[in-house]
Amino acid sequence: MTVLAEKTYTLLAKVPRGRVTTYKELAMALGTRGYRAIGQIVRNNPYAPRVPCHRVVASDGTIGGFMGHSRGEAIQKKIAMLASEGVHVTGKRINEFPKKLFHFT
């Protein structure tokens, strides 16, 4: 486990319910450019479900990935979970993404 992972989980846990964050925001807050690394870390998610990995989305408002695959039916499940928390998703993008997006800086 790397220091980057610790900080990633810490920040992710700080995201309130009904809000989402992006890999980019996380990477920026952590001071790294390894966006993909964040994806790997979140995918590992040894702290689940204490760490809401489903609250992490791509910077363009798309869901990104979930459960081992990047784009597939698993996304539907993630969408349902987000909708359950108040973040509704229409089609392939989050509804009012910038408003629901939680930024650290």
Catalytic (active-site) positions: 53
Q: How far apart are CA 69 and CA 101, in angstroms?
A: 23
* 82 is a site residue for DNA (CB under 7 A): no
Q: How many CB atoms lie within 10 A of CB 50?
A: 10
| Backbone phi, psi, residue 22, to 5° | -115, 160
Please report where in the chains the tokens 């995918």 appear, as a residue: 43
Using alpha carbons only, give the angle 74, 80, 82 rounded to the nearest 5 degrees.
105
Contact 52, 84 (CB under 8 A): no
* 6 is a site residue for DNA (CB under 7 A): no
* 50 is a site residue for DNA (CB under 7 A): no
Q: By C-beta, is 44 or 95 nearer to DNA?
A: 44
* 65 is a site residue for DNA (CB under 7 A): yes
Q: By C-beta, is 33 or 50 nearer to DNA?
A: 33
The only residue of 11, 53, 94, 101 in contact with DNA, by rule CB under 7 A = 53
Q: Which residues bind DNA (CB under 7 A)?
A: 1-5, 22-24, 32-37, 39-45, 53-54, 56, 58-60, 64-70
